[in-house]
């Protein structure tokens, strides 16, 4: 590809036009169709191998990129088509992502419970086994038994063994979270399966199939430079970052993230929203760079690190909320509630740590390394 060595900050990068966007969208649409084919070939099996998970991830990966490009380069694309396509792609990647999110959240919380229990040897292998077993069990077989977790299955057996090193409170908290998040995951799995079989999904897939060969650019798009639109996406990111409390975040142990740890407000921490927003804008910026570089963008370690910090921020924020939510389950023991309180606070400190990590990563551009 001719554009692969272009730098978005290079003034000649203005030469990248709507044609590059069309090439990128065709490539992503092709990826989407490949993932879909893989999913159909393997996903029908009960208790299938890891492929359906990877296929679902690849589907989401390209759906996100198509959706982001439609957003950033909106003026270059047929507006009716764009308006119709974006919410469908958002629905799809949201629906497909939920199962994995529940699984990752449970894994994060169980690992934290182990860490907090001071297990001298962190049972990394045991957790690996549990996670692998869990991944393998995300198919239909798992869905069939998950509603009755006490009947066992490999994931359950492993978790029980692990829990031998925990206090009663930590063990009960772990069991409660496992029950609640496994149920949520099972529901998410069913919803994803239903979604993939729905006419709504088939309509999206058909549109993506068309996109793989024919991108609905506006008449002027071929001659229109992408750079200003990509720059606007970057500006939205830098503006949003500038509004973050980065000075506080850069001061270790500022105790900001737990400020609402016992707030009477049951809603998720409003202080997290601007960070979640930056996470999305950072992703849009990264994908716009990919478009400019013809899908061959050099890896920007700083953006990658900053993005990982924001992913960790989001994950910890949601894990903390799940612990707080579990603590509202009726008839739990005080020991369980205590363990969930410790766990909640621990994850809120992870939120704070992730903000610190983002601040450190972000400053690496502004202040050149010595």
- Binding residues for its own copies, rule: CB under 8 A, are 113, 115-118, 166-167, 169-170, 252-253, 255, 258-265, 327, 332-346, 349-350, 352-353, 356
Q: In the bound complex, what is the minimum distance in angstroms from residue 356's beta carbon to its own copies? A: 6
Return the bridge partners of 225, or none. Answer: 17
The residue (of 297 and 343) whose beta carbon lies closer to its own copies is 343
Altogether, the residues listed in the chain come to a count of 370
The residue (of 5 and 115) whose beta carbon lies closer to its own copies is 115
Return the bridge partners of 17, or none. Answer: 225
The residue (of 284 and 353) whose beta carbon lies closer to its own copies is 353
Distance (Å, whole) CA 340 – CA 357 = 25
The residue (of 118 and 219) whose beta carbon lies closer to its own copies is 118
Q: In the bound complex, what is the minimum distance in angstroms from residue 367's beta carbon to its own copies? A: 15
Q: In the bound complex, what is the minimum distance in angstroms from residue 312's beta carbon to its own copies? A: 11
Local structure of residue 152 (DSSP, 8 states): -
Q: In the bound complex, what is the minimum distance in angstroms from residue 309's beta carbon to its own copies? A: 11
Cβ atoms of 256 and 352 within 8 Å: the answer is yes
Q: In the bound complex, what is the minimum distance in angstroms from residue 348's beta carbon to its own copies? A: 8
The residue (of 120 and 151) whose beta carbon lies closer to its own copies is 120
The residue (of 293 and 314) whose beta carbon lies closer to its own copies is 314
Q: In the bound complex, what is the minimum distance in angstroms from residue 74's beta carbon to its own copies? A: 39
């Amino acid at each position: 590809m001719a554009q692969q060595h272009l730098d978005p900050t290079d003034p000649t990068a203005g030469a990248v036009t709507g044609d590059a966007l069309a090439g990128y969208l065709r490539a992503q649409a092709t990826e989407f169709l490949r993932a879909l084919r893989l999913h159909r070939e393997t996903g029908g099996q009960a208790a299938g191998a890891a492929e359906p998970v990877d296929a679902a991830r690849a589907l989401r990966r390209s759906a996100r990129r198509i959706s982001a490009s439609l957003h950033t380069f909106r003026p270059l694309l047929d507006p009716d088509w764009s308006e119709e396509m974006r919410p469908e792609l958002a629905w799809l990647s949201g629906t497909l992502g939920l199962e994995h999110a529940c699984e990752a959240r449970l894994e994060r919380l169980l690992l934290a419970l182990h860490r907090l229990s001071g297990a001298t040897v962190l049972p990394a292998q045991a957790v690996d086994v549990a996670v692998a077993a869990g991944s393998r069990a995300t198919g239909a077989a798992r869905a069939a038994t998950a509603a009755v977790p006490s009947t066992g299955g490999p994931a359950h057996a492993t978790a029980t063994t692990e829990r031998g090193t925990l206090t009663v409170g930590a063990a009960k908290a772990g069991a409660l979270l496992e029950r609640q998040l496994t149920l949520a995951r099972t529901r998410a799995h069913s919803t994803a399966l239903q979604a993939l079989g729905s006419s709504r999904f088939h309509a999206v897939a058909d549109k993506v199939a068309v996109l793989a060969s024919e991108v609905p650019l506006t008449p002027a798009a071929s001659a229109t430079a992408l750079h200003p639109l990509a720059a606007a996406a970057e500006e939205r990111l830098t503006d949003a970052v500038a509004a973050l409390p980065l000075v506080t975040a850069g001061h270790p142990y500022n105790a900001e993230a737990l400020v609402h740890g016992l707030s009477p407000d049951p809603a998720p921490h409003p202080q997290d929203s601007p960070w979640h927003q930056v996470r999305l804008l950072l992703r849009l910026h990264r994908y716009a760079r990919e478009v400019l570089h013809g899908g061959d963008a050099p890896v920007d370690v700083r953006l990658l690190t900053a993005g990982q910090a924001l992913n960790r921020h989001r994950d910890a924020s949601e894990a903390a909320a799940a612990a707080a939510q579990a603590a509202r389950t009726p008839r739990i023991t005080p020991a369980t509630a205590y363990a969930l309180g410790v766990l909640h606070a621990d994850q809120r400190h992870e939120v704070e740590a992730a903000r610190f990590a983002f601040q450190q990563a972000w400053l690496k551009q502004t202040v050149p390394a010595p």
